[in-house]
Amino acid sequence: MPVTQQGESKLWQRRDRKQQLLIWATQFLGVAIFVYCWQKVSENTVWMFVNDAPRQAADMAQRMLPPKWSYMEQLWQPVWDTLNIATLGTLIAIVMAFPIAFLAARNTTPSKVFARPVALFIIVSSRSINSLLWALMLVTIIGPGVFAGIIAIGLRSIGFCAKLLYEAIEEINETQVEAIRATGASGLQILTYGIVPQILPAFAGISVFRWDINIRESTVLGLVGAGGIGIQLNASINTVTWTQVTVILIVILATVVISEWVSAKVRHAII
Amino acid sequence: MASRTLTSRRWRRPPFISNAYLRWGLLAAAILYLALAYATTEVNWSRVADGLPRAKRFLLSFFPPDFTSRSEDILEGILESLWMTVVSTVIGILISIPIGLGAARNLAPTPIYLLCRGIVAVSRTFPEIIVALFAVKLFGFGAFAGIIALSIGTIGFYGKLLAEDIEDMDPVQAEAVKATGSSWFQWLNYAVQPQVIPRMVGLGMYRFDINFRESAVLGIVGAGGIGATLLTSFDRYEFDSAAAILLIIIAIVMAVEYSSGYIRKWVQ
């Protein structure tokens, strides 16, 4: 504890001088970086539009009300598509993530030199690219529609599921695996009787968690033409029918809240 | 001597869901759902088949990617994404600190608690891209709209986790500092802040990472960043430039992820 003597009294400080200077230097650097970035953004901003924003917002709010509820009839199919994109995408992802996770986990990988880095690279590239970018690519390649959305969600989720799953595999109890091995089980039997039962709860939890995130993400895939309710959102905004936009936003909100509730319930039941 | 057959007992793995009705019910529901989904999803298979040569061309364009012919646009886009990420992360975290304090049950009185929880819930509901869509309408095209969208996302994320972290803190230490007769701010600074800061620095880095990934797509709706460049290169079927951009994004995300690991170790 840095305590300095000042005449009669002792003064306690939380940090000694070196630590304090280091912290100040870091803070200074942080502020400098922030100010630099802000200037760069500010140069490219038309401040007239920004200053006008409150009036615009009021105007928009006025045009968004009241919601055009009759539009709801046309929304059931997109909502169903959105659900399908999220669910089927998650399904594809977990099927693909399962073997990749086993290749990536340190204790189950067949080869640390070759298979593990490849699996880790798949995980990283799948995770770093947003599902909207995956959708953008797939729409250019296989054409617009629900199918592109499903594949996009699937590709994006592989990395997430595989990462969480391989971490779960690395944390399993080795004694159980050892016990199965001692009975003379083959590699596949060790897998099914020793490892899989241990990770099954984690696996189910991860799938439901990802499904919940995917519902959220699949609501916007339509912005690039990959199916779901986003198509209607984009169309309504482009045709400036704000009363429809309100209905769509409410529907998205409801879908997200319900899926979050379902996912929380299921995860609670599993764990 | 009469022979006796031994009744063999065969062991079976216990099923994952022990309730048989629930197990078969879920299976039946899943099959029904899949059938329904398959029947109602329209897939234009001929169009998909048409796309396969294009997919091959796209994959081949990764070897090698073309960094040079669009290098100016790419550099500009990437830098703009980075600026947006820095600014929005800082602004978002600065705003979310008071909100997070207010949303912690053990710190705030009920009306403030409810207000702050409300703010957190509202800013978490919509995906960043939808917020960005509206921000573009209000603030005009460009990075500023993206910053607004990312900051709102950051407030929801960071405020919620900060509040939860404060609620989980060790009350004994807080009590000890309070017993010395500290003022409220001193209490906050010496009892609460040291307990939550290591995790919050880590989460800040994590949010930076998320914001960068998000900023890469905001350009699709016109909210600045590399997304616009990427969209253009896809629209023009310039797959080799697109491949270059994707590789840069992956590289930056990996760099942020690794360095955040080091920073977290250093703070703890």
Give per-residue pLDDT as tens, A206-223: 888 888 889 888 888 888
pLDDT tens sequence across B121-150: 888 878 888 888 888 888 878 888 888 899
pLDDT of residue A129 exceeding 70: yes
Sequence-separated (6 or more) residues with CB below 8 Å from residue B124:
B156, B157, B160
- Please confirm whether the linkage preceding B171 is cis (ω < 30° from 0): no
Cα distance between residue B44 and residue B254, in whole Å = 36
- Cβ neighbours of A147 in B, within 8 Å: 41, 43-44, 48
The mean per-residue pLDDT over the stretch A214-238 comes to 85
- Cβ neighbours of B44 in A, within 8 Å: 143, 145, 147
Give the closest residue to A78 by CA, choosing from A86, A66, A67.
A86
> Which of B38, B40, B42, B86 is most worth mutating to test chain A (most A CB atoms within 10 A of its CB)?
B86
Residues found in chain A = 271
Q: Do A46 and B140 touch (CB under 8 A)?
A: yes
pLDDT given for residue B151 in this prediction: 92
Q: How far is B202 from chain A (nearest CA, A)?
A: 16
* Interface ipTM: 0.77
Q: How far is A7 from chain B (nearest CA, A)?
A: 23
Q: CB contact, 8 Å: B12 with chain A?
A: no
Q: Give me chain A's average pLDDT, please.
A: 84
- Cβ neighbours of A249 in B, within 8 Å: 126, 130
Q: CB contact, 8 Å: B46 with chain A?
A: no
Q: Do A88 and B37 touch (CB under 8 A)?
A: yes
Q: Taking CA atoms, what residue in B is nearest to A196?
A: B16
Cα distance between residue B62 and residue A102, in whole Å = 27
Residue of higher predicted confidence among B238 and A182? A182
Give the closest residue to B208 by CA, choosing from B148, B133, B265, B154.
B154
pTM: 0.80
Coil, helix or strand at residue A9: strand
Q: Do A137 and B242 touch (CB under 8 A)?
A: yes
- Cβ neighbours of B250 in A, within 8 Å: 124-125, 128-129
Taking every pair of Cα atoms in chain B, the longest distance, rounded to a whole number of angstroms, is 98
Q: How far is A155 from chain B (nearest CA, A)?
A: 15
Using CB atoms within 10 Å of the CB of residue B2, give its burial: 0 to 12 exposed, 13 to 18 middle, 19+ buried. exposed
Cα distance between residue B218 and residue B216, in whole Å = 6
Q: Name residue A28's amino acid.
A: F
Question: Which positions of chain B have pLDDT values less than 70?
Answer: 1-7, 268
Q: Do B127 and A33 touch (CB under 8 A)?
A: no
